[in-house]
Chain A
Amino acid sequence: MTFTTGAALLDALVLSVVSNEDSYGYKITQEVREAVDVSESTLYPVLRRLQKDGCLDTYDQEFAGRNRRYYRLTVQGIQKLAESRKEWKSYRKSIETVLYGGDKQ
């Protein structure tokens, strides 16, 4: 894939992954990496930003004798994800209109 992945899309992917179930940094990264080619360190700033914006919050839970930090969606995060999904649909539509020159798919 040569298309670049912008911040807005990364935000949406992370929110979507976390919306399935509360998850932790490593697992979120691996799941997002299935869709887009980002480095293992890319998501920390994204998670931090989403947390600061009030879309995610965290809690610690014991796992195998240590703490694991889980991220979960806030009400605001749920709204943001819904908006992003809507945005993505219209974005995709307009891209495809140009890309396929109005061909019926």
Chain B
Amino acid sequence: MNKNEFLQQLAEELRALPQDERDAAVQYFAMYFEDAGPEREEEVLRGLGSPAAVAAGILAEAQADNGSFKSTSGENKKIFVPDKDKLRRVQISSRDGKVYVKRAAVPSIFVEGFGAPVDSNFDEATGTWKLDIRSTPITERLSSLLRHLNVMEKPEKGPVYTICLPDGLEELAIKAGMGSIVVEELAANDVNLRAEMGSLVAQKIHAKTGSFSAEMGSMKIEQFDGETCTLTAGVGVVRFNGQVADTLHVDCSMGRVQANLPRPQNYNWTAQGGSGSISVDGKWIAGVFGVQGEAPQAKPNFDLKCGMGSIAVTFDEQTQEEATQA
């Protein structure tokens, strides 16, 4: 291993940390190598130990310090984080602000920027961790608005809540009011993400049942893998790609939903459309009511409901001929 490989692996091992913390750590060791000089590189590599071991030390320190946020009076308050072994369900609700969910071995929470108060409760009996991120102070909202309007010269960081969770939870439920949700990668039995007015991005979710809803916001689900998936778009825009073994429910009243899946061997669909438009694999089913496909028993089943919006289900590797027919 040379110093560049060391730094790369270190960055990888520190994935659970917020970006600026990770950058600071990697930069420190990059400078460390430079100050030691090329002639001491090998010796330093030996002295440092493996990137995983170095990262473990940094993460341990971050854990000890994590979960604190600056209250309006400027003091650091601690957020309770439950034990990994007792944790089975996670329910997060956030009025505004950004919620990042990352995969990690042990649960933790980091707050960047001037955060809102967080209520953290854990119910031992059901293993449920409830995180309630309350409204950010008015000053923060004002400065975020100014940032948005590009009035302020130096962009200031808004509150970002990075929540690290282990794989294998029974339930992950997140509800974001005006804020946004980003889930990077997670395997859980039941995943329910709901962005009322904000945006939602979820990548690499492995779940038995997935439920994603953007009432007025926009949502992007990528590389989903599961049995049943429900996409609900009120007036929002939904883009989905991934695999669904059993049923894909889509319900969009005035929004637009675009779902892309690997071409299944067989499939079925049921469609209910008001004045909207629905298409499956390039075939248009416009202005229909209660229509069903030709293979009622086949899986996956696409259960498509749309009022005035539009739904398009497409398959990968569509042949040229199919595309022309459409």
Among A39, A42, A49, A68, chain B packs the most CB atoms within 10 A around the CB of A39
CB distance from A94 to the nearest CB of B (A): 27
- B48 partner, pick from A41, A52, A67, A69, beta carbons under 8 A: A41
Q: Are B61 and A48 in contact (CB under 8 A)?
A: yes
Interface status of A93 (Cβ within 8 A of chain B): no
Residues 261-301 of B contacting A (Cβ, < 8 Å) = none
Among A27, A45, A47, A68, chain B packs the most CB atoms within 10 A around the CB of A45
CB distance from A60 to the nearest CB of B (A): 10
Residues 40-94 of A contacting B (Cβ, < 8 Å) = 40-42, 44-45, 47-49, 52, 66-69
- B44 partner, pick from A24, A40, A47, A48, beta carbons under 8 A: A40
Q: Which B residues are CB-close (under 8 A) to A41? A: 29, 47-49, 53-54, 57
CB distance from B113 to the nearest CB of A (A): 15
Interface residue tally for chain A (C-beta within 8 Å): 19
Q: Are A27 and B57 in contact (CB under 8 A)?
A: no
Interface status of B31 (Cβ within 8 A of chain A): yes
Q: Are A25 and B32 in contact (CB under 8 A)?
A: yes
Report the bound CA distance from A68 to B31 in whole Å: 7
- B31 partner, pick from A39, A45, A69, beta carbons under 8 A: A69
Nearest CB in chain B to that of A26: its residue: B35
Q: Are A66 and B34 in contact (CB under 8 A)?
A: yes
- A49 partner, pick from B29, B34, B53, B61, beta carbons under 8 A: B61
- A45 partner, pick from B34, B53, B57, beta carbons under 8 A: B57
Q: Which A residues are CB-close (under 8 A) to B65? A: 49, 52
Q: Are B35 and A40 in contact (CB under 8 A)?
A: no
A-contact 0/1 string along B58-92, CB 8 Å cutoff: 10110001000000000000000000000000000
Report the bound CA distance from A24 to B35 in whole Å: 9
Nearest CB in chain A to that of B64: its residue: A49
Other contacts beyond A45-B58, A52-B65: 14, CB < 8 A: A25-B28, A25-B32, A39-B48, A39-B49, A40-B44, A41-B29, A41-B47, A41-B48, A42-B57, A44-B28, A44-B58, A48-B58, A49-B61, A69-B27
Can you list 14 contacts pairing A with B, beta carbon distance less than 8 Å? A24-B31, A25-B28, A25-B32, A29-B32, A39-B47, A39-B48, A40-B48, A41-B57, A44-B25, A44-B54, A44-B57, A52-B65, A69-B27, A69-B31
- B contacts, CB < 8 Å to A: 24-25, 27-29, 31-32, 34-36, 44, 47-49, 53-54, 57-58, 60-61, 65
- A contacts, CB < 8 Å to B: 24-27, 29, 39-42, 44-45, 47-49, 52, 66-69
